[in-house]
Amino acid sequence: MPNNNKNPGSITSSSAAADNAAVDTISVNGRAVNSSAVGTPEMHQYLGKSHEDAFEVDQEADHQSDQDSDTSQPSSALKSAKTGKAAKTAKPPKAGKAGKAGKAGKAGKAGNLHEDNDESDESDQSDEDDDVAALLSDMDEDYSESEMEELEALQEELHARAAQPSMTLANKLATVGPDFPVTGSVPYSAKIWPLPHGAHAHPNNIRFDRALSGSNDLKRALAYHTIPEFSPFSYIRSNSTAKIFGNEYSILEQYIFIDNGISARPEHIALISVPMINQAFERAKAATAKHHYFALFKHLRFWARLSEQRLLPEELRLDVSAEHIDVPERRSDVVRSRFNGALESWIAYSEEDMEVLMDYCMFWLEKVMPKAQLLKEYLVDTSFAFMSDLIVTRRERIPELEALCTIEVDGKTVMSPRVRSHKKDGLQHYSYSWVTEYGRVLDGIRNSIFILVALVTGARKGELAAMNFSHVSQEANGDYWLAITRWKTAASPKHGEEDRLPLPKFVGDMIRQYEQLRSIPPFVKEGWLFQPMRSRKIVNRATPSAITSVIEQLKLILPIERLHCHRFRKTIAEILINRDERNIDIIRALFGHKSYAMTLRYIARNPFMVRSVAIAIEQNYTREFQDIVAGLRLGYSGASAERIYKQIIKRPDEFAGQQLKVTLVTYISHLLKAGEPLFIRRTAVGTYCLSGEHFTPANLPPCLAGRKVESELIMPDPSNCKIECKKVVMLSSAKQALSDNIKFYEAVLDKSRGKLAVTTEAELLRRISSSEMHLNNLNTSGHSGGQQIEVRNV
């Protein structure tokens, strides 16, 4: 019976049934699912098979499925995936529910039963529904966790107080003029400020090339206060903030100055009023670019606060107080918009951030820890570690203890001896206290191990907090494994469910060495990996507060903004998505791997990381996939587009609302387990590059043809997209561009007939032919009425 409920989030498909003329209408709302919901291995066909295709599709069974009017039955590819055929490399010693080992076993048994076994079908259906529900819950929690941590960082920014510098910018300009150095020898008046950046990071350049009169003067004055060295606000810790401000300044310029027909000269700055600002907010709120509203609020508030503190030259001060900009209603509205479409649901650490994190880790683990080990061995050998009051008192000084308690690395004093000279019974004595300083060293090592474990496991805050030394094991071949309890996927909320995740050897070795450093009585404690070392509190039950403590310490030390737990497990996804050569050093340091492929194989062994990375990638690509799915109904062209369209028609419910997320995450999970890459980029209006293929120098896509490519991380070049490529997906919005291209190429041929080289003329004819082919496909598929897809707010 037709379901006419077409609320937003529904996807409706009307098609003629194979055995009668009746119209069968399927409507899926919200989180409704069917037994084909996890049948996403077939989505691998969207991207074209690579030379290492992980999914073997049974063509005969597929044909039979097409003949069957009951499309809710799982395909053979689905059954193959459930029985583990899709991910032969994934074989942890013990997999929990999230690894799907248990489910796979059930699916394998079900595949051997007769199809008329209703009880088995219902059991399979229930298992799949449970899986989908768990996945949706995982995604919801993932976004909520990210949202909460982003909100915490935002609150820090909104509530930060301005500190008065010893010399304000206004005083500097009045005293020494505009040629004082801002960074290195670069003066304040320079057209570009090249701020320091990491060796592997993009340059942190701020350019002053605004065409609007007076705008460069204002931009300089505001940008100066976003440089950590000169900023009065404690939440500004990184030069990347200054670069971001420089990039976003145009938003302030557009809504305040250009839209109002005024310049940024002092006489026009004085005209800015509360009504003018409120109107600018309304325009920014209605803008297509959702981040404009938040950015305008942030920059106006920043400008007003600098003006109130008299940090800016008088002629550049905003004569509107911050309290008239940051009113409670406006703040609530802006923050709400920040988490409603304007905020990416995950933001990874940048290359520069990662360089800072890894330098910090290597400082403590490779430079400080060996020195701490020597001290620990001495304390054990002398039994100083086992004294009841942990204070060593002698009539003579102990040079060896003092030397070992003095830990200096790269000119930094990490630990120094505490010696108290006093008289006892009329005699000179020296008392040595080492526990507090040793505990501070252990905290630095603990924080470094936390960074590594958070990056390579994909664990959440609660799961990290519950990690114990007893959970780390090493097999005879040297491989490390981490037993982890997952509460979200467990059948019993009281006991959790144990899974085992692989650990890179370097990380496992560091944990074992850290355990040895903690093996002396004051620091054995309860064995929690990340509990504080300078606290005497007994921790019977580990809670996320231990991780919060680690994060707070790192915030005080590292020049990284918005540093929180959620971003660690998203960073590996960023590395996998971009596959940039700059990340090779990071991969080597984290995993001990020499190649991207080795990292993929490592992640394939970790179902926890697979899920985490898959969710992150889905969130990053959702907009592109939504555009493609929604646009196909208006017309499409390209082999990849044809495959996607057939899948949508075959299983329309998998591409509706929340179900689209499930489809994408499950599909990406299969790619990761199989060691497959994923690439999707918009190349032009209505045109996408969609690829899941391992490219080699001998097998390059058309956009790289003729180039010398030696990297193992070969990705398509969207800027040189060739429309004849089999990876191209074209939607109806590309029609105008195709039509214009045809006219242009034909005009060139007509005007240059007989003057062009044979090869050039053949190339133009080939381009005309390809464009006409795509245009014809778009027109034909767009007018096809046999299969209609309606997508609303996919």
- What would the two tokens of residue 434 be? 């080492």
Looking at residues 775-793, what average pLDDT do you find?
Answer: 56
Residue 328 scores a pLDDT above 80: yes
Q: What does the alpha-carbon distance between residue 534 and residue 737 come to, in Å, rounded to a whole number?
A: 65
The residue written with tokens 């509706």 in the block is: 656
Residue-level pLDDT at 146: 60
Residues 415, 437 contacting (CB under 8 angstroms): yes
Looking at residues 583-595, what average pLDDT do you find?
Answer: 58
Q: Return the bridge partners of 680, or none.
A: 690
Q: 195, 193, 191, 295: which is closest to 250 by C-alpha?
A: 295
Degrees to nearest 5, angle at CA 470 with 466 and 472: 90
- What would the two tokens of residue 296 be? 């305008």
In the chain, % helix, strand, coil (3-state, to 5) comes to 55, 10, 35
Residues 284, 334 contacting (CB under 8 angstroms): no
Side chain identity at residue 311, one-letter code: L
Please tell me which residue, 283 or 661, carries the higher pLDDT value: 283
pLDDT category, 759, cuts 50, 70, 90? confident
The alpha helices in 458-539, defined as continuous H runs, are 461-465, 505-517, 521-524
Residue-level pLDDT at 72: 34
Residue 114 scores a pLDDT above 60: no
Question: Sign of the C-alpha dihedral, residues 495, 521, 460, 582?
Answer: negative
Give me the half-sphere count of Cα atoms (radius 13 Å) on the Cβ side of residue 613: 33
Looking at residues 332-356, what average pLDDT do you find?
Answer: 69
Query: CA 22 → CA 19, 67, 69, 70, distances in Å?
Result: 9, 17, 12, 15
pLDDT category, 208, cuts 50, 70, 90? very high
Residues 568, 455 contacting (CB under 8 angstroms): yes
Q: 142, 160, 239: which is closest to 196 by C-alpha?
A: 239
Give me the half-sphere count of Cα atoms (radius 13 Å) on the Cβ side of residue 339: 17
Cα radius of gyration (the chain): 31
Domain ranges of the chain: 163-310, 351-559
Residue pLDDT, tens place only, 726-744: 778 887 777 887 888 888 7
Q: What does the alpha-carbon distance between residue 591 and residue 464 come to, in Å, rounded to a whole number?
A: 18
Q: 793, 663, 674: which is closest to 136 by C-alpha?
A: 663
Look at 221-235, 328-342, 382-396 and tell me which has the smallest mean pLDDT: 328-342
Query: CB count, 10 Å around CB of 116?
Result: 7
Residue-level pLDDT at 743: 85
Residues 285, 337 contacting (CB under 8 angstroms): yes
Terminal CA-CA length for the chain: 24
Q: What does the alpha-carbon distance between residue 25 and residue 28 come to, in Å, rounded to a whole number?
A: 10
Look at 196-210, 281-295, 398-412 and tell me which has the smallest mean pLDDT: 196-210
Residue pLDDT, tens place only, 463-512: 899 999 999 999 999 889 998 876 554 444 455 667 788 888 889 999 99
Residue-level pLDDT at 92: 38
**Phi, psi (deg, nearest 5) at residue 343:** -100, 130
The residues, any chain, with a CB within 8 Å of residue 445's CB and separated by 6 or more, are: 364, 365, 368, 369, 372, 514, 517
The residues, any chain, with a CB within 8 Å of residue 221's CB and separated by 6 or more, are: 169, 306, 312, 313, 316
pTM score, whole prediction: 0.57
The residue written with tokens 């008192």 in the block is: 393
Residue-level pLDDT at 94: 40
Residue pLDDT, tens place only, 191-201: 999 988 766 56
Q: 534, 539, 574: which is closest to 550 by C-alpha?
A: 534
Q: What does the alpha-carbon distance between residue 519 and residue 531 come to, in Å, rounded to a whole number?
A: 14
User: What single-letter DSSP state applies at residue 35?
Assistant: T
Side chain identity at residue 64, one-letter code: Q
pLDDT category, 308, cuts 50, 70, 90? very high
Residue-level pLDDT at 427: 92
Q: What does the alpha-carbon distance between residue 617 and residue 669 come to, in Å, rounded to a whole number?
A: 10
| 701-710 own/partner pairs: CB under 8 Å, 24+ apart | 701/725, 701/727
Query: CB count, 10 Å around CB of 267?
Result: 10
Residue-level pLDDT at 661: 57
Residue-level pLDDT at 437: 94
Q: What does the alpha-carbon distance between residue 206 and residue 227 come to, in Å, rounded to a whole number?
A: 11
Q: Return the bridge partners of 28, or none.
A: 11
Instruction: Supply the mean pLDDT for the chain.
Output: 73
Residue 598 scores a pLDDT above 90: no
Q: What does the alpha-carbon distance between residue 106 and residue 131 come to, in Å, rounded to a whole number?
A: 13
At the second CATH level, the architecture of 351-559 is Orthogonal Bundle (1.10)
Residue-level pLDDT at 124: 53
Hey, which of 84-93, 94-103, 698-707 has the most confident mean pLDDT?
A: 698-707
The residues, any chain, with a CB within 8 Å of residue 381's CB and separated by 6 or more, are: none
Tell me how far the alpha carbon of residue 227 is from its chain's centroid: 25
Hey, which of 238-242, 422-426, 430-434, 679-683 has the most confident mean pLDDT?
A: 430-434
Q: 582, 572, 727: which is closest to 717 by C-alpha?
A: 727
Look at 452-456, 572-576, 788-792 and tell me which has the smallest mean pLDDT: 788-792
Q: What does the alpha-carbon distance between residue 530 and residue 747 come to, in Å, rounded to a whole number?
A: 69
Q: What does the alpha-carbon distance between residue 764 and residue 771 come to, in Å, rounded to a whole number?
A: 11
Looking at residues 589-609, what average pLDDT do you find?
Answer: 61
Q: What does the alpha-carbon distance between residue 283 and residue 279 come to, in Å, rounded to a whole number?
A: 6
The residues, any chain, with a CB within 8 Å of residue 217's CB and separated by 6 or more, are: 264, 316
- What would the two tokens of residue 762 be? 């053949």
Residue-level pLDDT at 142: 59
Looking at residues 574-590, what average pLDDT do you find?
Answer: 58
Torsion, Cα of 23, 29, 31, 35 (10° steps): -10
Residue-level pLDDT at 116: 45
Query: CB count, 10 Å around CB of 753?
Result: 9
Question: Sign of the C-alpha dihedral, residues 530, 533, 535, 536?
Answer: positive
Give me the half-sphere count of Cα atoms (radius 13 Å) on the Cβ side of residue 587: 24
Looking at residues 42-64, what average pLDDT do you find?
Answer: 33
Query: CA 108 → CA 80, 102, 113, 121, distances in Å?
Result: 8, 10, 9, 12
Residue-level pLDDT at 714: 76
Residue pLDDT, tens place only, 236-269: 888 888 888 999 999 999 999 999 999 999 999 9
Q: What does the alpha-carbon distance between residue 399 and residue 391 come to, in Å, rounded to a whole number?
A: 16
Residue pLDDT, tens place only, 671-682: 555 555 556 555
Q: What does the alpha-carbon distance between residue 228 and residue 196 come to, in Å, rounded to a whole number?
A: 11
Question: Sign of the C-alpha dihedral, residues 74, 76, 78, 84?
Answer: positive
